[in-house]
Amino acid sequence: MKSQTITKADLDWKNLPFNYIKTDFNVRCHYKNGKWSSPELFADENIQMHIADPCLHYGQEAFEGMKVFETVDGRIVAFRPDENAKRLQSSSKQILIPPIPEDLFLEATHKLVAANAKFVPPFGTGASFYVRPLVLGIGPQVGLGPAAEYVFIIFGTPVGPYYKGGFKPVKALVIEDFDRAAPLGMGPYKVGGNYAAGLIGNAFGKEKGYPIILYLDPKEKKYVDEFGTSNFIGISGDKYITPASSSILPSITNKSLAAISEEMGLTIEKRQIEINEVENFDEVGAVGTAAVITPVNLIHYKGRDFKFGDGQPGPVITRLYNRLTRIQTGEDEDKFSWLDEISI
């Protein structure tokens, strides 16, 4: 069935916030006695928990974020969900959660989206259906150790842009007083604890008027790591430059944009970037599922302002944004095979 033949939910699609809007179903699987159960639909948005569940005390939790779109020709597609499945496995292994098999992850994603098809924003609205898989360690336990049981939940919600105004430049503050990750810590894994650690820096930035914060490497405080909820990219001449660091999340958006950049004839440099070098970049972007590519027109560091562009998104970042979003909505051919079509 074409997505356009579905009666869509009555929502103001062009003005959606990036926030939770109730849908009809979520999907859950349980892990018990060494096995994951098959995905099941639930209408209830609440979960019953035990007061001694280890995810509540010791943060044994990992999650993902991915987007689903309606295409110009009325299909519903998930963007690279196989990559999210792999990253959730990597995060899970690091905190001793039994990894969810990729085919189970994809089956659960398809089931969720098909059951909530009326909440997938119509093509042309600029909105998307944001999917949030999470896995929690459960079963009463007080001593420190991995949980005996787990629940894997996927829910979704229609969303608008993460930063107000959509594709518009924002300013960033380099955070010097807090780290979100440690040199041999959890930075490359998408675990809840990293985001708890990031709240204070985020609040500090917002208080000072910066919607985005930029972390430096936690060891030397010399190299660019990543933004609070997205990777860093810099454009310098014909180069696409992004940090090589062992304390950042490997972003699927960044990997996709690097492929698009290569196709456009840019040279990809994944290497350490000294913070002082950033001043010479032509354009800077914050890239991630929620952020897409958010142009950064100013970075404040040690009393100095590094400025990029004239207040408008730069030309290369604009081309990258257009190409990525046109692939996601089927307006451009899916030549990289990034779209996973969902039957509804």
Among 249, 275, 284, 317, indicate the residue that binds ligand PLP (CB under 6 A). Answer: 249
Minimum distance from CB of 247 to ligand PLP (Å)?
A: 10
Binding mask 62-81 for ligand PLP (x = CB under 6 A): ---x----------------
Which range of residues in 12-20, 229-237, 305-313, 324-332 is near ligand PLP by CB under 6 A?
Answer: 229-237
Which range of residues in 30-38, 142-150, 157-165, 248-256 is near ligand PLP by CB under 6 A?
Answer: 248-256
231 is in the binding site of which of ligand PLP, ligand COI, none (Cβ under 5 to 8 A by kind)? ligand PLP
Give 132 or 319: the residue with its C-beta nearer to ligand PLP: 132
Amino acid identity, position 236:
S
Minimum distance from CB of 67 to ligand COI (Å)?
A: 8
Give CA separation, 258 vs 28, 105, 292, 304, in Å. 34, 26, 13, 29
Give 146 or 325: the residue with its C-beta nearer to ligand PLP: 325
Which range of residues in 125-133, 145-153, 201-209, 228-236 is near ligand PLP by CB under 6 A?
Answer: 228-236
| Residue 168 designated active-site | no
Which range of residues in 92-100, 105-113, 237-245, 247-255 is near ligand PLP by CB under 6 A?
Answer: 247-255
- Say how many residues touch ligand PLP, by CB under 6 A: 12
Which residues form the interface with ligand COI (CB under 6 A)? Answer: 65, 229, 288-290
Give 174 or 249: the residue with its C-beta nearer to ligand PLP: 249
Catalytic residue among 111, 164, 190, 307: 190
**CA 27 to chain CA centroid, nearest Å:** 20
Minimum distance from CB of 305 to ligand COI (Å)?
A: 26
Distance in angstroms (rounded) separating the CA atoms of residues 229 and 201:
11
Q: Which residue number is nearest to ligand COI in terms of Cβ?
A: 65
Minimum distance from CB of 288 to ligand COI (Å)?
A: 4
226 is in the binding site of which of ligand COI, ligand PLP, none (Cβ under 5 to 8 A by kind)? ligand PLP
Give 23 or 289: the residue with its C-beta nearer to ligand PLP: 289
3-state secondary structure the chain: CCHHHCCCCCCCHHHCCCCCCCCCCEEEEEEECCEECCCEEECCCCCCCCCCCHHHHHCCEEECCEEEEECCCCCEEEECHHHHHHHHHHHHHHCCCCCCCHHHHHHHHHHHHHHCHHHCCCCCCCCEEEEEEEEEEECCCCCCCCCCEEEEEEEEEEECCCCCCCCCCEEEEEECCCCCCCCCCCCCCCEHHHHHHHHHHHHHHHHCCCCEEEEECCCCCCEEEEECCCEEEEEECCEEEEECCCCCCCCHHHHHHHHHHHHCCCEEEEECCEHHHHHHCCEEEEEECCCEEEEEEEEEECCEEEECCCCCCCHHHHHHHHHHHHHHCCCCCCCCCCEEECCC
Among 89, 128, 202, 231, indicate the residue that binds ligand PLP (CB under 6 A). Answer: 231
Contact between 190 and 88 under an 8 Å Cβ cutoff? The reply is yes
Residues 264-323 that bind ligand PLP (CB under 6 A): 288-289
Give 59 or 65: the residue with its C-beta nearer to ligand COI: 65
Give 226 or 340: the residue with its C-beta nearer to ligand PLP: 226
Distance in angstroms (rounded) separating the CA atoms of residues 64 and 45:
18
The set of catalytic residues is 190
Q: Name the site residues for ligand PLP (rule: CB under 6 A).
A: 65, 226, 229-231, 249, 251-254, 288-289
